[in-house]
Amino acid sequence: MKDVLILSIETSCDETACAITRNGREVLSDTVFSQIDLHRRYGGVVPEIASRNHLEKISTVVDEALEEAGVNLEDLDAIAVTNGPGLVGALLVGVSYAKGLAYALKKPLVPVHHIEGHIAANYLTDPGLEPPFLCLVVSGGHSHLIHVQDHTTFVVLGRTRDDAVGEAYDKVARTLGLPYPGGPELDMLAKKGDRKKVHFTRTWLEKGSLDFSFSGIKSGVLNHLNSLAMKGEAFHAADVAAGFQEAVVEVLVTKTLEAAKRTGMDTVALAGGVAANSRLREALQEACNEQGLILKIPDFRYCTDNAAMIGCAGYYRYLAGERAGLDLNAIPNLQIDRK
Ligand code: KG4
Ligand code: ZN
């Protein structure tokens, strides 16, 4: 079979990214311009600033990806682009650029769901991994338990009803005075703390539910800090971080194992920015070992937003014959189980 070369673009949040992949899983180049430094002083992503910077950086990022891969535009078989979910103005930059390229080059345009990309990060890390498997997707915007039935069929078994895990991490980190993005900072701080010193209530929701809720624990952390402040006592940030992390991880691990049991899956995969969390990786690995399940975790560089994962997911959509017209739009709340 002829090689399939895909140029992929990702601009759904605060990373401007472009990659060139061959046959889905071989990454020829993977360029990411992170805007984190621009948003840090506001304590979170400012959508308007994100869109403007995508616009400023996109051409350079695409040129760099092509150059690094040693690929000419004419060699490409398709252009893949994240068209949702995400920030609408940010998504529009990538979608418009991809449409322009596809039109000028007369190449197929393939739309990609951002979470499908996060799941595909596992294919980049493990060349032998094939569906079906169960995937826990945890990022700044999403927390989903997904039954990956084949490369393009996804059944959502559970999702967050309020905050995403990464969002809860970032908010709690901010409360503890850590810089944005707080997830990695909190992860590091928690290593110095005692997981059992401060206990936060776990939110399990109705019996049997595989959905999540993380807004309660956020208030739990605030209440803990406030009650200490009222008594004139100082809080121990590392213990609070470790206690918060333990509560979140326990719920994630328990529901993931339950979902694996229900679907009969013997392979579990982790995806999304929070897949970089050291305690989640460790606890999920221990639990999977106990249950005789195989755990797949993407390389750190493919956990947070990048375009290589979009190229990989786009490859499978390309093979499935999926094509978008020039009327392709950015859809901020695009659902993954649309079929
Ligand atoms: O996947 P991602 O880059 O963007 C979204 O699609 O949302 O995820 C970013 C999120 C942020 O909330 C960040 O704080 C979190 O992933 N994150 C972590 C860690 N590394 C990144 N959260 C906890 N522990 C980490 N080590
Ligand atoms: Zn993401």
| pLDDT tens-digit readout, 276-313 | 999 999 999 999 999 999 999 999 999 999 999 999 99
Task: With CA atoms as reference, report the closest residue to 124 among 325, 320, 297.
Answer: 297
Residue 229's pLDDT is: 94
Residue 85 near ligand 1, beta carbon < 6 Å: no
Cα–ligand 2 centroid distance for 35 (angstroms): 14
**Ligand with an atom nearest the CA of residue 245:** 1
State how far the Cα of 118 lies from the Cα of 138, in Å rounded to an integer.
9
For residue 44, name the pLDDT band (cuts at 50, 70, 90): confident
CA distances from 84 to 51, 112, 310 (A): 14, 7, 11
Find the helix or strand (DSSP H, E) in which 122 lies: helix 114-125
Q: To the nearest whole percent, how much of the chain has pLDDT over 90?
A: 92
Ligand 2 centre and the CA of 118: distance in Å?
6
Question: Mean pLDDT, the chain, as a whole number?
Answer: 96
Q: How far apart are CA 200 and CA 330, in angstroms?
A: 38
Give yes or no for a contact between 308 and 69, defined as CB atoms under 8 angstroms apart: no
Minimum-distance ligand 1 atom for the alpha carbon of 304 = 3
Ligand 1: distance of its center to the CA of 141 in Å?
9
- Would the pLDDT of 219 be above 80? yes
pLDDT at 196 over 60: yes
- For the Cβ of 305 lying below 6 angstroms from any atom of ligand 1, the answer is yes
The radius of gyration computed from the CA coordinates of the chain, to the nearest angstrom, equals 20
Of all protein residues, the one whose alpha carbon is nearest to atom 22 of ligand 1 is 183
| Stretch 325-335: mean pLDDT | 96
> Is the CB of 306 inside a 6 Å radius of any atom of ligand 1?
no
pLDDT at 339: 52
Ligand 1 in reach of 117 Cβ (< 6 A): no
Give the pLDDT of residue 338.
65
166 CA from centroid of ligand 1 (Å): 5
Assess whether pLDDT exceeds 60 at residue 260. yes
304 C-beta closer than 6 A to ligand 1: yes
For residues 180-192, average pLDDT: 96
Q: Is 84 in the pocket of ligand 1 (CB under 6 A)?
A: no
Predicted pLDDT at 40: 86
Nearest to 184 by CA among 120, 280, 253: 280
pLDDT tens per residue across span 55-71: 999 999 999 999 999 99
Q: Note the pLDDT of residue 37.
A: 86
pLDDT over 90 (residue 39): no
User: Residue 64 has what pLDDT?
Assistant: 98
Question: Does the beta carbon of 139 sit less than 6 angstroms from any atom of ligand 1?
Answer: yes
Q: Which residue has the least CA distance to atom 1 on ligand 1?
A: 273
Closest Cα to residue 252, out of 210, 295, 207, 193? 210
Q: What is the mean pLDDT of residues 20-48?
A: 92
Summarize the confidence of residues 18-32 as an average pLDDT. 98
- What CA–CA distance (Å, rounded) separates 312 from 129? 13
10 lines ligand 1 (CB under 6 A): no
* pTM of this structure: 0.95
Q: Is 298 in the pocket of ligand 1 (CB under 6 A)?
A: no
| Averaged pLDDT for residues 236-258 | 98
Atom of ligand 1 nearest to the CA of 118: 1
